[in-house]
Amino acid sequence: MRASFSFPRVHWRPRDWALTALAFVVVCVVGLTAGRGLAAFGGDVLRLRLGGDAEATRVVVDLDGAVEGSVVETGRDGRVVIALRGARARSPLEGEGRGLVRRWRVASEAGGSRVELTLAAGARVERRFLLPPGDGVEHHRYVVDLAADGRTAATPAAEPRPAARREKPLVVIDAGHGGRDPGSLSASHRESELALAAALDLKAELERTGRYRVMLTRDRDVYVPLQRRVEIARRAGADLFISLHLDSSGDPATRGASVYTLSEQGAGRAVREFTGRDDWTRELDLPGRDPGVDRILLDITQRSTQNQSARFARGLLGEIEGAGHPMLRRSHRDAGLAVLLAPDVPAVLLEMGFITNPDDARALDSQSGRRRLMRAVVRGIDAFFLDAEPVRYASSGNAAGRP
């Protein structure tokens, strides 16, 4: 005989239902708030700025999210290192210092990034704090204040200087699209035409300085395959590759320039493509005796090239913004674009503006507007080569004399 069970019937009053509903709402709100708090923690490192003098120097790290900081090295050995948990450095950032800072660098590490400050004089961390967006600033700022302490900073080991250049740097300019590939279109403009006009203007401005050799991947309305553009630069021994394009958007109000450098995924793709060739060691002048050693040398070359590209991109964006040219809010971007895949040639892709924005298109269709922008690009190229370092670490014979 099957036993039967029944639960006692519970009679809830309206007040009981109301309290239960209220508790459910409170739990949901708390969970949602906690989830938002977690999602808001962390963000990309946008830039690092310095201000002050040899007595007090302020370091400001601009971020697009909140982070937590801790001091790893206090400055006693000539360096201050701050760990920023949750901060993502998409590519290494570095530059010359100011005041108490001789040089600075921001690099990724597990769970965040490190801000490394090489001191020009003895200093200590006086205070540090995180400023949220406000007072007209749309991003977070992690601030580190350094104060001189009267000690002499430890002198870093001298870095070897590159060999003197034998000839002028070679800049390869790539006008995007062309021929059967017009690129982005607007009612009265084709991207391929405006990119070619800008490339010709940039070539003329560079040659006017007398400091560069210049080559174009195309000088007329023809289609050049993407891989061929990279080969042109590599076979010519280019010191810098810059590809000119215009962006597009469904919103005609969107405007501004941006610069792309190679992403980590793109760097991995570049290495895979090169090591898949039978003669890849010869292409990079590698010894070819030990595949493991050659792969390490290729990785070193690729990493050096990425760092050089990122350094050029930062300087280029600064010059373009300084010329009053409109910029996208996040103007330094990365992607695995085919024209950026050369492992031994620093390369950027410059989106000069939006062809779908009437003001951007009008400026780039004007010779005066293009020249103003291209002169800013020339200043960025000048700054890049002024502080250039050797790139082809994988090469056994071509590194000397290269920037």
Residue-wise DSSP of 200-252: HHHHHHHHHHTS-EEEES-SSS----HHHHHHHHHHHT-SEEEEEEEE--SST
Instruction: Say if CB 142 and CB 60 are below 8 A apart.
Output: yes
The more confident residue out of 334 and 51 is 334
Average pLDDT of the chain, as a whole number: 81
Task: Give residue 166's pLDDT.
Answer: 58
Bridging pattern class, strands 112-119 and 79-85: antiparallel
pLDDT band at 283 (very low <50, low <70, confident <90, very high): low
CA 283, distance to chain mean position in Å, is 27
Locate 251 and state its tokens.
Answer: 């919103």
SS3 string of 161-177? CCCCCCCCCEEEEEECC
The secondary element (H helix, E strand) that includes residue 330 is strand 327-335
Say yes or no to pLDDT of 361 above 60.
Answer: yes
Task: Give residue 211's pLDDT.
Answer: 93
Say yes or no to pLDDT of 101 above 80.
Answer: yes
Task: Give residue 18's pLDDT.
Answer: 54
Torsion, CA 129, CA 317, CA 385, CA 91, rounded to 10: 50
Task: Give residue 157's pLDDT.
Answer: 40
Provide the b/e sequence for 275-314 (b: ≥16 CB within 10 Å). Answer: eeeeebbeebbbeeeeeeebbebbeebbebbbbbbbbbbb
Place of tokens 């070819």: 288
| CA separation for the pair 212, 197 (Å, rounded) | 19
| CA separation for the pair 117, 126 (Å, rounded) | 14
Locate 54 and state its tokens.
Answer: 């040899």
Per 3-state DSSP, the chain is made up of helix, strand and coil in percentages (nearest 5) of: 35, 30, 35
Q: Which of 19-28, 268-277, 286-295 has the highest mean pLDDT?
A: 268-277
Give the mean model confidence (pLDDT) for residues 149-169. Answer: 57
Say yes or no to pLDDT of 288 above 60.
Answer: no
| CA separation for the pair 229, 349 (Å, rounded) | 13
Task: Give residue 110's pLDDT.
Answer: 73
φ/ψ region of 390 (left if φ > 0, alpha if ψ in -120 to 50, else beta) reads: beta
Task: Give residue 24's pLDDT.
Answer: 56
DSSP letters for 54-112? SSEEEEEEEESSB-EEEEEEESTTSEEEEEEETEE-SS-EEEE--TTEEEEEEEEETTE
pLDDT single digits (tens) 293-313? 666 666 777 788 888 999 999
Other Cβ atoms less than 10 A from the Cβ of 70: the count is 11
| CA separation for the pair 275, 195 (Å, rounded) | 33
Task: Give residue 401's pLDDT.
Answer: 34
Place of tokens 């792969």: 295
Other Cβ atoms less than 10 A from the Cβ of 370: the count is 22
Place of tokens 């891989």: 227
DSSP 365: T
Instruction: Say if CB 339 and CB 228 are below 8 A apart.
Output: no
Say yes or no to pLDDT of 281 above 70.
Answer: no
